[in-house]
A and B are shown apart, each in its own frame.
Chain A
Amino acid sequence: MNLAISISQYVQQIRDGVLSSEEFVAKTLERINKVDKTLHAFISINENALEQAKQIDKKLKGKEKLGACLGMPISIKDNICTKGIKTTCASKMLEDFVAPYDATVISKLKSQDAIIIGKANLDEFAMGSTTEFSYFGPSRNPWNPDYVPGGSSGGSGVSVSALECIASLGSDTGGSVRSPASFCSVVGLKPTYGLISRYGLVSFANSIEQIGPLARTVEDVAFILNIIAGHDLHDNTTIDTGKPDYAKDLDVGVSGKKIGIISEMVGDGVDKDVQSATKDAMSRFEKLGAECVSISLDSAKHSVAAYYTLASAEASSNLARFDNLRYGFDFSVEGYEYNQYISKARSNFGPEVTRRMLLGTFVLSAGYYGKYYQKAQKVRSLIKSQLAESFKKVDLLLAPTIPILPFKIGEKIDDPLKIYLLDINTIIANLSGIPAISVPFAIAKGLPIGIQLFANSFQEKQLLQAAHALQQTTNLPGVPI
């Protein structure tokens, strides 16, 4: 049996009766058993997955009504709450936390008969770009296990790439869905802020983050987006968009579209192989009938400083809830004074989380607020208005997802600033709220390169159509593991 099938192939085979959910889930679990000792995409596995698959097959045989997912195995980033399965955020702080409820995205997937196969590894509380900051140890790139898989949704990217599930949900605060998508050669979408409910996503930076799907094809991403998008009473930042069908008319092409290449993202500091892949992507779009022009977005060079100021500020405030009374690490209160007790508990945060809390508190403190936080908010406005101007001239924007190729585990871990700068091409979408997608495009030196497309807010349909057109021009090898 082939695990490397798309969602539409899976659905077809189940409908035709040539495949059962039980067979597919069993084979997937076998695959996880085989490769995950090396890759470490998962923090926990759903022990009831096989039983749930059997139930779905039974319903199918009994001609009962079934949801669109028909028992397909999906992995979930471990900062999204799942009732009955641990949600650890890859932190020692929450190593035994089981949420008493499902996130809205999980309820939606379950109502469509998806099977949560397991919880995927991440950088602690989604803070990182390599998955090396997980308390449970790093995930490894299936294209070369000595290399990082990107992050923070590294486990999600690895599990989709290495055929340990059919699709995954990640969360994208500064590029955390698109980075592992690029480094692991899968598709990853950061939707418009407000398109998907964040209810049940453990908060890191509320004004910036979004849940997003990862899958092997653009078509599969559109399928998942159809299920999880939409207004939610539990999240007042969600917007009612009237439920467009993202999977419909995916193949309309890009003829007559105008695509802007962000000049600041293809110049100095970009790896040669990444540069040539970007040029190649442009010429393929031109062959498909699109017009490519150069667009300058000079505020982009300040995006990393603005983003890390704002995200750290929001993180330091969000993580204040880990006071060991509402949430936190379980140990006895005997012999501790209140402040001492909380400090002791919070010493269980890993180094990157501690760093962000220090930074966030610093930029918000009296005397520095105007210099950092307020200035960063203004830069955020500037980025947003420059993007709005750009979208008056072009339909889509293009840039490499990450300026460099995947690198070795441990190579940058002692220099947090170097890791922050990896996000330079992805952050503008988070600060402005616009959607962006990473499409697997090339392999250089045995390592994947992703191309990123941006569209204006709530233009996911147009974005997916262009991404689909680009993916159709590629013929990439299968994952080597």
Chain B
Amino acid sequence: MVDRKEIEHLSNLIKIEILNPQKYITQVEKILNYFELLDKVVIKTDDLLRQELTLDKLREDKFVPFEDNLIENLKKTKENFVRAPKMV
């Protein structure tokens, strides 16, 4: 089910350079086969888990300054700019 092409497509989607796709093919396929278990579960209701949130504890709509100068933590800066690779 999972072939080299599929793994290459996925690695392209998640933008990870995979040096040894073969290693992942067998493992991912085995895990997905196990996930097939989910297909056999009989669920009578269409209800999905709902999370109830109480909204009385939201913080005040007030600006709170962060104590640190975050820009100083960035590495690839030229003045206050971040250097990104070329987009072509």
B-contacting residues of A (Cβ < 8 Å)? 100-101, 207, 231, 233, 236-237, 239-240, 299, 301-302, 304-306, 308-309, 316, 320, 323, 325, 330, 333, 336-344, 346-347, 349, 351, 354-355, 357-359, 361-363, 365, 371-372, 374-382, 384, 416-417, 420
B73 touches A100 (CB 8 A): yes
B32, B66, B84, B85: most-surrounded residue (chain A CB, <10 A): B85
- Asked whether, in the complex, the Cβ of A379 is within 8 Å of the Cβ of B38, the reply is yes
- A101 and B15: CB pair below 8 A? no
A384 to B75 Cα, complex, angstroms:
45
State which of B28, B39, B45, B57 has its C-beta within 8 Å of the C-beta of A355. B28
B10 close to A361 (CB less than 8 A): yes
A375 touching B38 in the complex, CB below 8 Å, given contacts A338-B84, A358-B11: yes
A361 near B13 with CB under 8 A, answer yes
Shortest beta-carbon distance from A371 to chain B in Å: 7
Set B14, B53, B84: member contacting A333, Cβ < 8 A: B84
Contacts of A207 in B (CB 8 A): 51
Q: What residues on B are CB-neighbors of A316 within 8 Å?
A: 14
A305 touches B76 (CB 8 A): no
Distance in Å: Cβ of A247 to nearest Cβ of chain B: 25
Contact B24 A355 (CB under 8 A): yes
The answer to whether A363 and B87 touch across the interface, beta carbons within 8 angstroms, is no
Q: Is the CB of B35 within 8 A of A363?
A: yes
A361: chain B residues at CB < 8 Å are 10, 13-14
B18 touches A354 (CB 8 A): yes
Partner of A375, one of B6, B15, B41: B41
Q: Chain B, 62-88, contact with A by CB distance < 8 Å: what is the 0/1 string?
A: 000011101001011000001111111
Taking a contact as CB atoms under 8 Å apart, the answer to whether B32 and A377 are in contact is: no
Known: A305-B38, A375-B39. A341 touches B57 (CB 8 A): no
Q: Mark B15-52, 1 if CB is under 8 A from A, else 0.
A: 11111000110011011101101110101010111010
The contact of A357 among B16, B43, B82, by CB within 8 Å, is B16
Across the interface, A358 reaches (CB within 8 A) one of B14, B45, B53, B83, namely B14
In whole Å, how far is B20's beta carbon from the nearest beta carbon of chain A? 9
Q: Give min CB distance, B24 to chain A, whole Å.
A: 6
Q: How many residues of B contact A (CB 8 A)?
A: 50
- 16 inter-chain pairs at a CB distance below 8 angstroms, sorted by A residue, are A236-B53, A323-B15, A330-B76, A333-B76, A341-B85, A342-B15, A347-B19, A358-B14, A371-B38, A372-B35, A375-B41, A377-B49, A381-B43, A381-B49, A416-B27, A417-B30
Return chain A residues, CB-CB under 8 Å to B19: 347
Residues in B lying within 8 Å of A, measured CB to CB: 2, 6-7, 10-11, 13-19, 23-24, 27-28, 30-32, 34-35, 37-39, 41, 43, 45, 47-49, 51, 53-54, 57-59, 66-68, 70, 73, 75-76, 82-88
Question: Dominant SS at the B interface?
Answer: loop
Assess whether A358 is in contact with B49, with CB atoms less than 8 Å apart.
Answer: no
Closest to B82 in A: A325
Chain B residues lying within 8 Å of A304, measured Cβ to Cβ, are 34
Given the known inter-chain contacts A305-B38, A382-B41, please indicate yes or no for A346 contacting B16, CB distance below 8 A. yes
For residue B34, which residues in chain A have a CB less than 8 angstroms away from its CB?
Answer: 304-305, 417, 420
Minimum Cβ distance to chain A for residue B67 (Å): 8
A316 CA / B13 CA spacing, docked (Å): 11
Residues of B within 8 A of A337 (CB): 85-88
Given known contacts A309-B35, A359-B28, A378-B43, A339 and B49 CB-to-CB distance under 8 angstroms: no
CA distance A325 to B83 in the complex (A): 8
Complex interface: chain A residues within 8 A of B28 (CB): 355, 358-359, 362
**What residue in chain A is nearest B30 (Cβ atoms)?**
A417
Complex CA–CA separation, A61 to B71 (angstroms)? 41
